[in-house]
């Protein structure tokens, strides 16, 4: 890449990034430097209007709104889809700046990381990306404590419980935002309900039709977003309120299953046994999802990672709209309240959202260099 892109990065972090990148390259990941400017709509569609305040925005000669890349995963995925490797196995690594307004230490940060596309052996690929990222962080000068989760396993639980889709969305979003189960399920915390007539109309429509109706009404009124929410998000909010009004809620038994499930944490192998016992006791068929979870644990251990030194949390799912399976993050063990220095996971649905005709298996990780325990020093 052009060396000037990292000129503003402190030398310690720049050197740390070089060591981490060398580890990725030695593992066979090809270096890539995707474009810095991208259509802002891509990131707004993925994360909602609330991210606008964290983007560095500009416009091209035709008036299209552009932004400096706030992260690497989407730019690397776009570059992959535009290449002759699209749909095939391809693995990339990178080192360079990302740009986010209001970020600690200024708007520009140095990141390194790796992305893997097209592999059908999902659990082995997950384990490789996670272990390589942890090894690279150590090579860069920082031993980290990792937390693991599984958004796909949680989704399998929600499907097995046959929860209304409105509650599945609420639970996914609420956990990704770090809210407790009680806060998510407490109807009194959902704020004032919309007008009864509106909710009655929503109750009588199917979810897709109700969502389309709200989006059409907002479009007719020339409204793209309200209070940082897109038209689709507003429609989902109406559907949630209609479900609450009609008593379409989670029963006591299902709530108890969720409470027990989300309370599981600790050693991943021990957690797997606890989750399997919970599923059996509740009469839920989660065998395939739990088998995949245990296979991944085995692959991680086989790569030399002390799996018992990582911590699994059933309540850790990150942003469910983005990640579809294994998720992880790692922090300075001396500063457990610090922002993650390493984060990643599986995102099989991203390629389709970016224009591919079908999902493409994908998993990746990013290291924010100045969040490493030593800031990258050795």
Answer yes or no: is 378 within a domain. no
- The reported pLDDT for the residue numbered 189 is 45
Instruction: Look at residue 18 and tell me whether its pLDDT is greater than 90.
Output: yes
Answer yes or no: is 31 within a domain. yes
Answer yes or no: is 292 within a domain. yes
> 352 and 286 in one domain?
no
CATH number of the domain that residue 349 is part of: 3.30.930.10
Answer yes or no: is 326 within a domain. no
> 134 and 43 in one domain?
yes
8 Å CB contact between 95 and 21: yes
8 Å CB contact between 322 and 312: no
> 296 and 337 in one domain?
no
How many domains would you assign to the chain?
Answer: 3
Give the bridge partners for 327, in sequence order.
Answer: 149, 345
Instruction: Look at residue 193 and tell me whether its pLDDT is greater than 50.
Output: no
> 111 and 75 in one domain?
yes
> 131 and 170 in one domain?
no
User: Where does residue 359 fall: left (phi above 0), alpha (psi -120 to 50 degrees), or beta otherwise?
Assistant: beta
Cα–Cα distance, 68 to 40 (Å, whole number): 8
Answer yes or no: is 324 within a domain. no
> 302 and 281 in one domain?
yes
8: domain range? 3-144+332-371
> 57 and 206 in one domain?
no
- For 270-320, how does the pLDDT look when each residue is reduced to its tens digit (9 = 90+)? 999 999 999 999 999 999 999 999 999 999 999 998 888 899 999 998 766
Q: Which residues contact 28 (CB under 8 A, 6 or more apart)?
A: 91
> 138 and 8 in one domain?
yes
**Strand 65-68's sheet: what is its strand order?**
37-39, 65-68, 57-59
- The reported pLDDT for the residue numbered 279 is 97
pTM attached to this predicted model: 0.83
Cα–Cα distance, 9 to 376 (Å, whole number): 12
- For 328-348, how does the pLDDT look when each residue is reduced to its tens digit (9 = 90+)? 999 999 887 888 999 999 999
Among 226, 246, 266, which residue terminates a domain? 246
8 Å CB contact between 121 and 302: no
Residue 360 host element (H or E) = none
Answer yes or no: is 28 within a domain. yes
> 255 and 233 in one domain?
no
> 179 and 314 in one domain?
yes
Helices (H), 194-286: 196-203, 207-220, 231-245, 252-262, 268-282
* Inter-CA distances, 134 with 141, 216, 271, 346, Å: 11, 47, 21, 16
> 95 and 52 in one domain?
yes
> 110 and 43 in one domain?
yes
Half-sphere exposure of residue 152: CA atoms within 13 angstroms, side-chain side: 22
């Amino acid at each position: 890449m052009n060396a000037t892109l990292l000129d503003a990065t402190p030398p310690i972090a720049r050197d740390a990034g070089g060591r981490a990148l060398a580890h990725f390259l030695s593992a066979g990941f090809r270096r890539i430097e995707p474009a810095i400017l991208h259509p802002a709509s891509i990131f707004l569609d993925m994360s909602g209007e609330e991210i606008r305040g964290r983007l560095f925005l500009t416009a091209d000669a035709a008036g299209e709104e552009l932004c400096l890349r706030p992260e690497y995963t989407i730019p690397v995925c776009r570059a992959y889809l535009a290449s002759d490797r699209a749909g095939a196995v391809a693995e990339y690594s990178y080192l360079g700046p990302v740009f986010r307004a209001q970020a600690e230490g200024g708007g520009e940060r140095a990141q390194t990381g790796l992305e893997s596309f097209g592999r059908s052996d999902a659990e082995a690929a997950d384990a490789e990306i996670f272990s390589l990222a942890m090894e690279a962080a150590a090579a860069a000068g920082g031993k980290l404590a990792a937390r693991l989760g599984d958004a796909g396993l949680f989704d399998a639980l929600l499907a097995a419980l046959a929860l209304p889709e409105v509650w599945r969305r609420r639970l996914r979003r609420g956990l990704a935002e770090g809210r407790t189960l009680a806060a998510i399920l407490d109807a009194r915390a959902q704020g004032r309900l919309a007008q009864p007539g509106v909710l009655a109309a929503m109750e009588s429509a199917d979810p897709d039709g109700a969502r389309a109706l709200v989006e059409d009404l907002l479009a007719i009124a020339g409204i793209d977003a309200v209070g940082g929410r897109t038209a689709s998000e507003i429609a989902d909010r109406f559907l949630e309120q209609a479900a609450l009004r009609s008593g379409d809620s989670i029963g006591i038994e299902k709530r108890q299953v969720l409470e027990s499930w989300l309370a599981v944490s600790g050693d991943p192998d021990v957690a797997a046994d606890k989750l399997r016992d919970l599923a059996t006791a509740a009469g839920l068929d989660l065998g395939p999802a739990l088998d995949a979870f245990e296979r991944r644990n085995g692959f991680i251990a086989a790569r030399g990672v002390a799996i018992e030194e990582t911590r699994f949390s059933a309540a850790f799912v990150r942003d469910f709209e983005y990640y579809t399976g294994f998720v992880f993050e790692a922090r300075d063990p001396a500063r457990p309240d610090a922002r993650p220095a390493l984060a990643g996971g599986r995102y099989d649905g991203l390629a389709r959202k970016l224009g591919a005709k079908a999902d493409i298996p994908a998993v990746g990780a990013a290291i924010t260099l100045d969040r490493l325990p030593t800031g990258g020093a050795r």
